[in-house]
Structure 1
Amino acid sequence: MKSAYLYVRVSTDEQKRKGYSLPEQEDRLLKYCKYNNIEVKGIYREDYSAKNFNRPEWKELFSEIKKKSSGEDKNILFIKWDRFSRNVEYAYEMIGKLRKYKTTAMAIDQPIDFSVPESTVMLAVYLAVPEAENTRRAQNTANGIRRAKLMGRYPNKAPIGFINLTLMDGKKTIAPKEPEADVIKWSFHQVAQNDHKISEIMKIANEKGLICSRSHFFRILRNPVYCGLISVRLEPNEEQMIKGLHEPLISESLFYQVQSVINTKRKTTSKKNDLRELFFLKGFLTCPVCDRKLSASISQGRSKKYPYYHCHDGCKTRINAVFLNECYQNKLQQLILSNNAVELFRNILEDQNIKIQKASYLYTQKLLERKIKERS
């Protein structure tokens, strides 16, 4: 071996930035090449999983190998075979591709003499062990998540409207997160009323601060976590609902009412909500004559329609909606928050933080109550 490309790999970007594995691998490979008088033609540093070869640095290395003349023997060095691949099938396929370009892959800690037929047995072991480790690790993780869910804990990343918390005992839970939690509550209640199209409800929810796609919004409506239930898959076709320890956003009855609305094929009875943006002051205005709340509607003129805020029968109060909306918006722009208002908002934020802490304490209390019941 006169020359070689060096390949070092870790699984994640965080390991690349904060860990010492990449520099350690590179340093050992460089010392190996110096000791054996091997010219280093390039170093490729990777921060991708080895479940397949769809990795940026490996693709670049493979392209470089294909550019070289076919008459030249080429080599790729790495520390162990798990740096090369953690999938037996893909590993053998890639070794075959490298052979077409007269390239040999070699692990300095697990050397293989490909000229000896029996060496293929050791290669199979070196490649199979990392795949078995990955499979076992994935299975252990899945079992741990299932056990946590059976205990009523939600161990995954918190869904929108919740936030992940770590309790004083080190266990993880989720708690409501504002303002998304309130918007989600509002969305469930609106869908349950079955008065508006779900797409219209989603649009208003987005404006209120719930930023998500249409498909994500439907996943929210179908997620039992919001009513305090956690879905646990026991068998491929068997699923169980566990009462969670976290604080629910809605009741179970409301959740199943929404499922009925979503899953039932029905003739749409929802109302168009196009007027909502035009008459956004409706319900907040009072008549200057009779002190009753003003309503709103559109009057048909000869050539076009005219929007008005108006009073009820018997009162002739009528105000152009476009004019009044512009006056209201201009007045808002002139407002400046006083020091007292700023202080009030600061207190509101502090109260919100207290709510999160309260959710953590309630979770701990429920956990202790469950343990007492189990022991009694």
Structure 2
Amino acid sequence: MARPRTAPKRKVKRAVDAFAARKAVLYARVSTADQEREGFSIPAQIKLLQEYAALNDINVVSEHIDVETAKKAGRTEFEAMLAYLRRHPTVRIILVEKTDRLYRNFKDYVTLDELDVEVHLVKEGVVLSAESRSSEKFMHGIKVLMAKNYIDNLSEEARKGMNEKAAQGYWPTLAPLGYRNVRNDVGKKVIEIDPETAPIIVQLFDLCGTGNYSMKELAGKARELGLKYRRSGKPVGTSTLLYVLRNRIYTGSYEWNGKLYRGLHAPIISLETWENAQEIIDGRSAANLRAKPVEFTYTGLMTCGHCGCAIVAELKKKKYIYYHCTGFKGKCPEPYVRQEILDTYFENVLARLRLDDEVFGLVQRALREGHADERRDREARKEKLIAEASQLQDRLDMIYLDKVEGRITAEFHDRISVTWRDERARAIRGLELLSNADDAYVDDSIALLDVVRTAHKGFADMAVGHKRRALNLVLSNCSWADGSLSVGFREPFGMLEELSKNALLLGGQISTAGDCHDSLVTPTGIEPDFGDTTGDRRGNKPLFFNSQLALDYPPLP
């Protein structure tokens, strides 16, 4: 008897759990440990992000908090967040307060772009993903650029503080070998003689002064005497020893940013001993003098499109500059090319980045209004620091009166007042940083964008250093092959190039639609569809220029 046929089993595709698809990581950051100790930044960020997640049915599965500067890539929790996202492909959302909390350099920007995540900038009310409009990506890229300028501004203020400390006679940074960093009686950071390494430094200067030892032999003596790096504990190398012997700080004076200062620290050697060592070192290097190298505009900026080797320059007849492939991987068919030809090609590339005055004004207004929230936060922090400094000054006045009237001892007064003075000085320094960096980074970013959109004008007449800085800022992955230049725009300039190209195709005019000043639209009121562009994973859009320039140049010598 035949078995009855059963209906075939249908393969039912599992529905994706909507809740699982809305998993997210939370990221918060403050720039300094002082901000974290004050407690006004991290708790506020976490509370804001958690409330946002609850309102939007987002499940926060991991939290990452950094308390350090973002001047350099490599933040501990930021890297941990990236590792978590790579291990969990179902988690594709990042919740962060605003742009400068997430990344403040382009390396972080590119890294997150490669992960294809959805970034929720809660305080800015922006959600960025692969489906975001080109105008939104462009504005976001400009904000990243502004954030980088902001941290550079803060770094400049920190350098000013170090210059002021150096002018007062205090070594402003890590103590060199032979000294160590300590705090003096009033709590100020100073350097003092290290009893372990200072005798070794004295012996090395004496040995150098005899003139009987080469620098390599002196390095061997230093290793025998036990001179080591503080952190690694490894013996010092020849270059480090040369730096030690060249350093004037051991005489009681030091050079800082090209100026000579008399330090308040104790000297290790006499000025005569140091000058004698300099004469010996200078005498040994007198025969190794080299001519000043010529700086070429495009060296290090291009590779060969045939073999991938570097494109280098040569000076012919002391006035003609030719570029060619190094041929490191073998004979290359690419012929020599004159620098004037490359000037024309790169000028044409920069000409693709252009916005008329009306659109530039639109972008400028959007950037300023988009950072009104940042300015309000800064003003609140300034008010907090002003109140803190005023309160500490009142305490200092009161404790001084108590000492004068005999209610407390002078010793107790000195011990307490030192702490309060340091806290007040810290508050004033923070206030100065916030005041000096108030809107400068916004103005600098707008000025930079203005320079880039007009950089093609007179490019050939620019100084070599200015050309290199402009091209390094805007371009990447440049290559030359068969008389053609291929370049990639760094973001956000790639978006600016697309915006300029589409504006040109649509009549060269971009206007606002109603009050939506933060969305760039065409004259028809419809946002331009930039479509899918080809490029590498970093977002660089390749451009090709194939026109041959028939210029009257002398033949190769």
Scaled by the length of structure 1, the TM-score of the pair is: 0.56
Residue in 2 that maps onto 1:85: 103
Shift of residue 126 of structure 1? 4.8
Residue in 1 that maps onto 2:381: none
Q: Helix, strand or coil: the match of 1:160?
A: coil
Residue in 2 that maps onto 1:243: 262
Q: Helix, strand or coil: the match of 1:264?
A: helix
The sequence identity of aligned pairs, in percent, is 25
The answer (yes or no) to whether the contact 1:50–1:84 under 8 Å persists in 2 is no
The answer (yes or no) to whether the contact 1:8–1:44 under 8 Å persists in 2 is yes
Instruction: Please tell me whether Structure 1 or Structure 2 has the larger radius of gyration of its CA atoms.
Output: 1
Matched, 1:219 2:237: no
Q: Helix, strand or coil: the match of 1:152?
A: coil
Q: Helix, strand or coil: the match of 1:265?
A: helix
User: Residues of 1 paired with 2:285 and 2:102: CA distance?
Assistant: 55
The answer (yes or no) to whether the contact 2:209–2:280 under 8 Å persists in 1 is yes
> What letter matches 1:111 in structure 2?
G
Gaps spanning 5+ residues in structure 1: where? 234-238, 268-376
- Call closer, same or farther: CA 1:143–1:221 in 2, change over 3 Å: same
Shift of residue 124 of structure 1? 5.6
User: Residues of 2 paired with 1:16 and 1:149: CA distance?
Assistant: 26
Q: Helix, strand or coil: the match of 1:157?
A: coil
Q: Helix, strand or coil: the match of 1:136?
A: helix
User: Residues of 1 paired with 2:34 and 2:279: CA distance?
Assistant: 46
Q: For 1:33, which of 24, 41, 53 is the aligned residue?
A: 53
> What letter matches 2:154 in structure 1?
R
Shift of residue 129 of structure 1? 4.9
Shift of residue 161 of structure 1? 1.1
Residue in 1 that maps onto 2:22: 2
Q: Deviations over 1:95-116 (max 9, x none)?
A: 6435xx3x22122222215567
The answer (yes or no) to whether the contact 2:30–2:36 under 8 Å persists in 1 is no
Matched, 1:161 2:185: no
The answer (yes or no) to whether the contact 2:207–2:213 under 8 Å persists in 1 is yes
Shift of residue 84 of structure 1? 0.8
User: Residues of 2 paired with 1:139 and 1:171: CA distance?
Assistant: 22
Q: Deviations over 1:130-167 (max 9, x none)?
A: 33331221111112222322333211111111122433
Q: Helix, strand or coil: the match of 2:284?
A: coil
User: Residues of 1 paired with 2:62 and 2:261: CA distance?
Assistant: 54
User: Residues of 1 paired with 2:44 and 2:227: CA distance?
Assistant: 45
Q: For 1:112, which of 126, 133, 141 is the aligned residue?
A: 126
The answer (yes or no) to whether the contact 1:149–1:232 under 8 Å persists in 2 is yes
**Matches of residues 100-249 of structure 1 in structure 2 within 5 Å?**
101=116, 103-112=117-126, 123=140, 126-212=143-229, 213-214=236-237, 215-233=239-257, 239-249=258-268
User: Residues of 2 paired with 1:161 and 1:60: CA distance?
Assistant: 38
The answer (yes or no) to whether the contact 1:113–1:119 under 8 Å persists in 2 is no
Residue in 2 that maps onto 1:371: none
CA RMSD of aligned residues (A): 3.6
User: Residues of 2 paired with 1:59 and 1:168: CA distance?
Assistant: 40
Shift of residue 192 of structure 1? 0.2
- Call closer, same or farther: CA 1:151–1:49 in 2, change over 3 Å: closer
Shift of residue 219 of structure 1? 1.5
Shift of residue 24 of structure 1? 5.8
User: Residues of 2 paired with 1:184 and 1:252: CA distance?
Assistant: 14
- Call closer, same or farther: CA 1:113–1:76 in 2, change over 3 Å: closer
User: Residues of 2 paired with 1:138 and 1:266: CA distance?
Assistant: 36
User: Residues of 2 paired with 1:164 and 1:149: CA distance?
Assistant: 15
- Call closer, same or farther: CA 1:78–1:248 in 2, change over 3 Å: same
> What letter matches 1:40 in structure 2?
V
Q: Helix, strand or coil: the match of 1:127?
A: helix
Q: Helix, strand or coil: the match of 2:176?
A: coil
Q: Helix, strand or coil: the match of 2:126?
A: coil
- Call closer, same or farther: CA 1:64–1:179 in 2, change over 3 Å: closer
- Call closer, same or farther: CA 1:53–1:104 in 2, change over 3 Å: farther
The answer (yes or no) to whether the contact 1:51–1:85 under 8 Å persists in 2 is no
> What letter matches 1:219 in structure 2?
Y
- Call closer, same or farther: CA 1:117–1:216 in 2, change over 3 Å: closer
Q: Deviations over 1:15-42 (max 9, x none)?
A: 8997866566445433432343212243
User: Residues of 2 paired with 1:177 and 1:152: CA distance?
Assistant: 19
The answer (yes or no) to whether the contact 2:251–2:269 under 8 Å persists in 1 is yes
> What letter matches 2:181 in structure 1?
N
Gaps spanning 5+ residues in structure 2: where? 1-20, 230-235, 287-557
Scaled by the length of structure 2, the TM-score of the pair is: 0.39
The answer (yes or no) to whether the contact 1:5–1:75 under 8 Å persists in 2 is yes
> What letter matches 1:190 in structure 2?
L
The answer (yes or no) to whether the contact 2:252–2:266 under 8 Å persists in 1 is yes
Residue in 1 that maps onto 2:417: none
Q: Helix, strand or coil: the match of 1:183?
A: helix
- Call closer, same or farther: CA 1:92–1:58 in 2, change over 3 Å: closer
Structure having greater relative contact order (Cα 8 Å, sep ≥ 6): 2
- Call closer, same or farther: CA 1:48–1:266 in 2, change over 3 Å: closer
Shift of residue 240 of structure 1? 2.8
Residue in 2 that maps onto 1:297: none
Q: Deviations over 1:295-354 (max 9, x none)?
A: xxxxxxxxxxxxxxxxxxxxxxxxxxxxxxxxxxxxxxxxxxxxxxxxxxxxxxxxxxxx
- With 135-144 and 14-23 compared, the bigger mean Cα shift is at 14-23
Q: Helix, strand or coil: the match of 1:156?
A: coil
Shift of residue 231 of structure 1? 0.8
- With 196-205 and 18-27 compared, the bigger mean Cα shift is at 18-27
- Call closer, same or farther: CA 1:62–1:201 in 2, change over 3 Å: closer
- Call closer, same or farther: CA 1:241–1:135 in 2, change over 3 Å: same
